[in-house]
């Protein structure tokens, strides 16, 4: 009989050495394996059992965009797995002074066992992965945020007991969060509705890709301008800030354009009675979400934030183990 630890080890071997650039690169089974591993790692931590499969391993963490959750969860995660992490600001390394991404990738591959990068362009992450001989993890780009959605899927599964058939409604800017949620939901057989104003809807190419994936997994991806229509029968309502990092100059215009898209108790009342509220954080109370909702009984934002640690530990274990 295969034990849980033997099963986890088998799953690690299947994914070892892979990059994690977008959830579209992973099958439903592979994402399920990562989620099972995340659950296992979380339980080990809760029970105070050391789980250190990455002893002697080093993760390089490149940050061209600042962060709270991404930095702390990866740095604490690699430490808890027995390894070590090196913070690399673009101001401190030569990639910020004109060294090519390809050269940086080759050099770091000789020093490290994995790279996590949080940057602007998806092309930067893809080029880094192309020339690196070690796993590259996308910590966030302007196009995708797959690590966040891996933790989101773990959270939804914990609360709802399953993923298939769960209806998630994302309300707000059709940004990197919306894109990764679309891909993740489509792959896992879920229903996802994105409710965004005209002019702020998800990228057409990403939407087309998500709909294609959805067709392979009996999932459903759709766009609905009216949030009150979108949230009907919703199991989960999800939102993000209206102006992401780098869009601060658009704040006032976006506040006007997103009027009517705040997640508040009136909107929650139109969903299922046991609807769950999620937010990737940081949150602006009184803008995209009311304080009553984010601090209320429907909110799981801090459980969701904690799961960044467990999901990313699973990812590092599987890719770098």
Annotated active-site positions, please?
118, 145, 148, 240, 280, 308
Q: Three-class SS of residue 166?
A: coil
CB 317 within 8 A of CB 12: yes
Residue 242 DSSP code: S
CB 157 within 8 A of CB 189: no
CB 266 within 8 A of CB 227: no
Does residue 149 come out as left (phi exceeding 0), alpha (psi in the -120 to 50 range) or beta?
Answer: alpha
Separation of alpha carbons 250 and 38, rounded Å? 37
Expressed in angstroms, the distance from the first to the final Cα of the chain is: 23
Does residue 81 come out as left (phi exceeding 0), alpha (psi in the -120 to 50 range) or beta?
Answer: alpha
Instruction: Go through 204-227 and write b for each residue having 16 or more CB atoms within 10 A of its CB, e for each that does not.
Output: eebbebbeebbeebebbbebbeeb
Residue 25 DSSP code: G
Residue 237 DSSP code: E
Please choose, from the candidates 136, 158, 157, the residue with its C-alpha nearest in 3D space to the C-alpha of residue 147.
136
Instruction: Go through 270-287 and write b for each residue having 16 or more CB atoms within 10 A of its CB, e for each that does not.
Output: bbeeebbbbbbbebeeeb
């Amino acid at each position: 009989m295969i034990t849980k630890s033997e099963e986890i080890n088998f799953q690690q071997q299947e994914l070892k050495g892979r990059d994690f650039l977008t959830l579209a690169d992973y099958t439903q089974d592979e994402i399920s394996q990562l989620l099972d591993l995340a659950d296992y790692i979380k339980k080990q931590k809760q029970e105070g059992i050391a789980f250190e499969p990455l002893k002697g391993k080093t993760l390089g963490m490149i940050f061209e965009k600042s962060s709270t959750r991404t930095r702390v969860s990866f740095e604490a995660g690699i430490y808890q797995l027995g390894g070590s992490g090196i913070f690399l600001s673009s101001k401190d390394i030569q990639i910020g002074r004109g060294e090519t991404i390809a050269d940086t990738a080759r050099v770091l591959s000789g020093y490290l066992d994995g790279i996590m990068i949080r940057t602007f362009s998806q092309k930067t992450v893809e080029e880094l992965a192309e020339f690196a001989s070690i796993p590259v993890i996308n910590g966030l780009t302007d196009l995708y945020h797959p690590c966040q959605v891996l933790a989101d899927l773990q959270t939804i599964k914990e609360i709802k007991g399953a993923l298939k058939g769960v209806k998630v409604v994302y309300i707000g800017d059709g940004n990197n969060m919306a894109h990764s949620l679309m891909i993740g939901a489509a792959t896992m057989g879920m229903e996802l509705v994105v409710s965004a104003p005209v002019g702020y809807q998800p990228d057409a190419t990403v939407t087309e890709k998500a709909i294609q994936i959805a067709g392979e997994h009996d999932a459903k991806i759709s766009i609905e301008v009216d949030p009150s229509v979108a949230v009907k029968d919703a199991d989960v309502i999800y939102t993000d800030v209206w102006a992401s990092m780098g869009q601060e100059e658009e704040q006032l215009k976006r506040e006007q354009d997103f009027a009517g898209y705040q997640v508040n108790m009136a909107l929650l009342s139109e969903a299922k009675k046991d609807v769950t509220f999620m937010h990737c954080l940081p949150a602006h109370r009184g803008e995209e979400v009311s304080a009553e909702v984010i601090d209320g009984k429907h909110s799981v934002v801090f459980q969701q934030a904690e799961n960044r640690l467990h999901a990313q530990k699973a990812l590092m274990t599987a890719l770098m183990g």
